[in-house]
Structure 1
Amino acid sequence: MAAEHISKTSEAYPMKGGDGVHSYANNSYYQRGVIDTAKKLITDEIADKLDLKNIVLSNTFRIADLGCSVGPNTFFAVQNIIEAVKCKPQCEGFDPQLLEFQVFFNDHASNDFNTLFTSAPPDRQYYAAGVAGSFYCRLFPNDSLHFVHSSFATHWLSRVPRSIVDKSSPAWNKGRIHISDLEDEVVKAYEAQYAEDMDCFLHARAQEVVRGGLIALIFAGRPNGTPHSQAPLTFFFNLLGSCLLDMARKGIVSEEKVDSFNIPMYWMSPQELEAAVNRNGEFRLERVEKLPGVTNVRDLPISELIAANIRAVSEGLIKAHFGNIMLDELFELFRMKVEEELPLVKSLRSTNFFALLQRKAKD
């Protein structure tokens, strides 16, 4: 029987590639810190939930990292998983020296895979392959993956909700570039897009992950019942939107361009993830846990760190919409506004979650 395929239109939002001063590779220390906080949870869950005897039919264990970007964080995450699998008691009948690992690094075709593989650890203990495509679609054959990992990726929607850029829609998000609690219709549009995307994500993984296999998600979210406006990243993107409006007033960009620009990100709550898992019905949500906070790991002013991180994440999206002539000016203005709001910024507490899903056994 042929594998089921899903066709879903998905827009690409690659992180800043290369290894330059503004690259994601050099400005994702915070994301690396969050991955480190989840290491013990992944190790414990693999020790407790992964049944190698029943899910690995050969000596090859297959891992996929979805939304891998350009490294180096993806390599740390993968190594954590491999070490945890090797630490299973005697690998449950497998000789640790004979068990082989195959790792698939996935992201959109426009991702900088050249930088990714150039920076791959030379002493890696696995066979590596790149898989281009949206994780909201099928990427792998049926029952081919034993462990799926995705960190700081599922908050990217497959596209900007169409209604929020439609001037005739009550959800038109004029004057703002991200979700806001000010307009119920905007919130509903983002929520509907998230629900559709997560349904597609889980439906695709249900075909690809073997029964008993695991999915580990690390995501920036918001606690159950928390308004979107209280998410720190919402605050920063709204601040970035105010910078764009300032530039529009100066005639540097057009106001129409600002009105038609929106950030396709959504901070899901554990309750929303649980609802999506229940709708799908093919996985059990084994664990959801809030991760500890991450301290500043670079000796730089907070405003510089935040501006550098937001630029590495969103530069491609902004450049595609506005062009690149304004990037330096935009992010210097953003940095200055973060500096002005420093007392409030220091009070913000990012909320990151770890979630573990397990593919159900046959009834």
Structure 2
Amino acid sequence: MTTSFPMNAGDGPYSYFKNSHLQREVLDGANRMVRDAIIQKLDIKIMLSSSNTIRIADFGCSVGPNTFIAMQHVVQALKDKLLQVTNSTNNIPEFQIFFNDHVINDFNTLFQSLPIDRSYYAFGVPGTFHGRLFPSRSIHFAHSSCAIHWLSKIPKELLDEKSPAWNKGSIHYICTSNVEVVNSYVAQFEKDMEMLLNASAEEIAEGGMMVLVTPFASYTRLMIFFGSSLMDLVNELVDEADAKTLMINLRAVLEGLIINHFGSEMAEEACARTILKSEDISTWMKANYEKSCQLFVALKRK
């Protein structure tokens, strides 16, 4: 069984519920792109030919509130698309939204904070999005934001002491010459993307659509895979990000994983130290973003 590490639960000072502002900025920045995709490309007539219910899935919903904001954007865009096609506000379909995340995700916090004025029926779907979660052709619109960079498992090469990718000697591999480690992660990411897309191809109904939004996976790989529009999102995040806020955000995201590897005492110390180095981290973020842009431009020219 694959070990999973969900975002910090509850609504405390280091919870994901209270510390997911950067992910909210990603959603806000991508909102126009998601809306344009729905308005320009979604075949809503085919979707409604067999049912008066539109079923939407959000993969990697976590505990809120970002998933609710994203889903409200999607529902409103779908309503506007319907109005554009029918020129009528009669017979508005009903909406079902399936909130998906790992089985140990804090669904209690998620559903306790559901918007009271929501215009959809809410359901929870526990399980990994790297495999099938829904019946064939049952989902009309699938969405995921800030989630697909999570791998389904650690690349097996990193656990083999005889492998060139044996993960030893460095806490990170950004500046090392050992490309085998990076290549192992890239290969696993590509396998996971294939599993996700293959599963979704079975689940999404005719005329439906899938939208994936993330600036957090392998940056250059995503630029090649999804296009340069993500550069604008990441540029905005880097310009506006406060390193101290970012470190608290990362604690909400990664604390469970750090505790699993190093224990709670060391995790607490690591989080405290990163806050003290926030100015240095800000400088590093900007420098590495510029390098990523230069690399992407070079790759696009080839």
- TM-score, reference length from structure 1: 0.73
Which residue does the alignment assign to 1:83?
Answer: 76
Identity score, percent = 43
Per-residue deviation, residues 206-226 of structure 1 (Å, max 9, x unmatched): 10001221111111157xxxx
Q: Could you tell which deviates more after superposition, 56-65 or 176-185?
A: 176-185
Cα distance, 1:288–1:117 mapped onto 2, change above 3 Å? farther
Deviation at 1:297, TM superposition (A): 11
8 A contact 1:30–1:294 mirrored in 2: no
Deviation at 1:303, TM superposition (A): 3.1
8 A contact 1:86–1:96 mirrored in 2: no
Confirm whether residue 326 of structure 1 aligns to residue 269 of structure 2. Answer: no
Which residue does the alignment assign to 1:339?
Answer: 279
Deviation at 1:41, TM superposition (A): 1.2
- 1:154 partner amino acid: I
Which residue does the alignment assign to 1:168?
Answer: 162
**Which protein is richer in helix relative to its size?**
2
Secondary structure at the residue paired with 2:51?
coil
Written as runs of structure 1 = structure 2, the 5 A alignment for 1:118-137 is 118-137=112-131
Q: Could you tell which deviates more after superposition, 127-136 or 332-341?
A: 332-341
Which residue does the alignment assign to 1:236?
Answer: none
Secondary structure at the residue paired with 1:174?
coil
Which residue does the alignment assign to 1:211?
Answer: 206
- TM-score, reference length from structure 2: 0.86
Per-residue deviation, residues 275-333 of structure 1 (Å, max 9, x unmatched): xxxxxxxxxxxx762243446999xx933212101111100111122221222211111
How far apart, CA to CA, are the structure 2 residues paired with 1:112 and 1:17?
A: 6
Q: Which runs of 5+ in 1 are unaligned?
A: 1-8, 223-227, 232-266, 275-286, 353-363
Which residue does the alignment assign to 2:300?
Answer: none
Q: Could you tell which deviates more after superposition, 110-119 or 51-60?
A: 51-60
Secondary structure at the residue paired with 1:325?
helix
Written as runs of structure 1 = structure 2, the 5 A alignment for 1:177-192 is 177-180=171-174, 182-192=177-187
Secondary structure at the residue paired with 1:150?
strand
Cα distance, 1:79–1:341 mapped onto 2, change above 3 Å? closer
How far apart, CA to CA, are the structure 2 residues paired with 1:147 and 1:325?
A: 43
Secondary structure at the residue paired with 2:17?
coil
Confirm whether residue 36 of structure 1 aligns to residue 31 of structure 2. Answer: no
How far apart, CA to CA, are the structure 2 residues paired with 1:107 and 1:310?
A: 18
Secondary structure at the residue paired with 2:55?
strand
Cα distance, 1:341–1:210 mapped onto 2, change above 3 Å? closer
Which residue does the alignment assign to 1:60?
Answer: 53
How far apart, CA to CA, are the structure 2 residues paired with 1:208 and 1:96?
A: 28
Secondary structure at the residue paired with 1:101?
strand
Cα distance, 1:96–1:160 mapped onto 2, change above 3 Å? farther
1:268 to 221, 227, 237: 221
Written as runs of structure 1 = structure 2, the 5 A alignment for 1:105-144 is 105-144=99-138
- 1:38 partner amino acid: A
Confirm whether residue 27 of structure 1 aligns to residue 22 of structure 2. Answer: no
Secondary structure at the residue paired with 1:63?
strand
How far apart, CA to CA, are the structure 1 residues paired with 2:120 and 2:239?
A: 29
8 A contact 1:179–1:186 mirrored in 2: yes
How far apart, CA to CA, are the structure 2 residues paired with 1:89 and 1:206?
A: 24
Count of residues in Structure 1 that have an aligned counterpart in Structure 2: 287
Which residue does the alignment assign to 2:243?
Answer: 303
Which residue does the alignment assign to 1:154?
Answer: 148
8 A contact 1:101–1:127 mirrored in 2: yes
8 A contact 1:60–1:101 mirrored in 2: yes
Secondary structure at the residue paired with 1:330?
helix
Cα distance, 1:66–1:146 mapped onto 2, change above 3 Å? same
